[in-house]
Structure 1
Amino acid sequence: MVKGVTRRVVVVRAPDQKYFEQAIFLLREEAESPDPPEEQVLKQAQAVADAYLLRTSPWARWRRAWVPALAALAGGAGASLLWWVGSGSFPLPF
C-alpha cells in the first residue's frame, strides 16, 4: 500500500473498444495550476493514444520490416540501370 501520494489522473474511455477499453494518463505535477484546461488534456491524451495505435498496428509493423528492404532493392536497381546506360553497351532510342 502506498501512503501519502496523491496523483491526478485522466481516464479516457475508448468509444470503439477494438484495441483497448480505457487509457489512464497521470498528470505531471508541473502541469498548469490549479487545473489545466480539460479540452487540452483530452486532446493530448487522444494524440498519444492515436500515436501508440499507429506504431503498433499491423501496417506499421509491415512497413518497418519491408520498406527498408524495398528501398535498398530500388536503389540497387536504379544504380545498376544508370551504370548500364552509362557504359554505352546499347543504343539509346532518343
Structure 2
Amino acid sequence: MAAVVKGVSRQVIVVKSPDPRLFEQAIFIVKEDAFGQGVSAEQVLQEARRVADGYLRRNVRLGRPRPRVPAPAWVAAGALLATIGWSVGLLL
C-alpha cells in the first residue's frame, strides 16, 4: 500500500520503541501549527514518547504469558462440579 503525503514538507518525529521485540520505531507527523502554539520541540518529543509507551502498555502483553486452560478442561470441571452438587443435594 502506498502512502500519500500532502504538502511539500512535513515535520516528523521518530521514536525508538521501548520494546524492540515488537516495533523498531514509531513515526509521528507533527501538525503544521504545533510549534506556533507555544509548544517546544522537547515537549512535542516527550508527548510522542508518552503516546508510544501508552500504546504498548494498553495493547501489548509484556512479560510471562499466562497459561491458557483449554475448553475441554472447563467442560470437565463444570461436569464435576455439577455432579458434586447433585450428590450433595441427594444426601440432604
Higher RCO (C-alpha under 8 Å, 6+ residues apart): 2
Shorter-chain TM-score category? 0.3 to 0.5
Q: TM-score, normalised by structure 2?
A: 0.48
TM-score normalised by structure 1 residue count = 0.47
Greater helix proportion: 1
